[in-house]
Amino acid sequence: MNQGTVKWFNDSKGFGFISCEDGSDAFVHHTSIQSDGYKSLAEGDTVSFDTEDGPKGPK
């Protein structure tokens, strides 16, 4: 499990990026958020997540 900080998240488009502890960025899509209710993230939130390799880098 990785830890990181939400770099930005666009609610209307449903995606954003997380700054990982190792300095890399990971793409996040609203369908990957595991929470009840509206699936969104706020800039600066600390999050725990797993990554998988996507065609343009980790997601």
Query: Residue 15: pLDDT band by 50, 70, 90 thresholds?
Result: very high
**pLDDT the model gives residue 56:** 76
Tokens standing for residue 57: 């880098």
Going along the chain, which residue ranges are E strands?
A: 2-10, 15-20, 25-29, 46-49, 53-54, 57-58
Residue 53 lies in a domain: no
Q: pTM value?
A: 0.81
Q: Read off the tokens for 56.
A: 């343009």
CATH code of the domain covering residue 17: 2.40.50.140
pLDDT at 54 over 80: no
Cα 22 to Cα 18: distance, rounded to the nearest angstrom? 11
30 belongs to a structural domain: yes
Q: Tell whether 58 is covered by a domain.
A: no
Mean pLDDT over residues 7-14, rounded? Answer: 95
* CA–CA gap between residue 11 and residue 5 (Å, rounded): 17
Q: Which residues form the domain of 4? A: 1-38
44 band by pLDDT with thresholds 50, 70 and 90: very high
The total of structural domains in the chain comes to 1
